[in-house]
Structure 1
């Protein structure tokens, strides 16, 4: 997010389990693993990192402008929310790779070959360009 101009981004981390595991009732990963990763991110970066919190709450906060970004635990957790918020131009960004990777959020759309709206691809390319500016 700093590459996109956020000096000290606010990031909420979505939980893996329903209700962030309910203190172990629905799984212990949120309490035992994800919370530790959030604590490490707080101490190792300038980002304001919170969570784990329920994914629906994380994306509601993002939609309301309360946070700059959401880290989702799995693909569909993120794409449901992003498609609801902006179907045509939502962009998927894969972090942690040694290169910039963006894609349209609606998938390959084989059923729309030759007649698809290019807005999603244009948005993905704009995001990739924004993420690589300054690397040249």
Structure 2
């Protein structure tokens, strides 16, 4: 207890319950679709808490707006996802961990094929006003309820 575990700053097993998470192994076929399916079990358990727009927050505190598209009991990260993938050079074999922090905010950690966390690019994605790829200013990650 009390040890820091990466960006999640876990204080104990109780934190694991409070902040549900899921991971995705990126395969070439998923990249071609330009969308990423949120695991069905996560959607079953937490989908009603997600708005049609979520915020992906990287360890550098860059914030990306990504639309959630739903069909029946399924949901995908879609509009904005391709820009996120391109900016972080996500490719086949990368492993992403999504930790849901509430208010449609996810912390995202990206690992490459060496099983190491990537070096996150910082150009044009950090600062007091963060912008998505389209240049629209969005709220800092610390503001909840957006």
More strand by share: 2
TM-score (norm 2): 0.27
Q: Which one has a bigger Cα radius of gyration?
A: 1
Which has the larger share of helix? 1
Name the TM-score, length of structure 1 as normaliser.
0.28
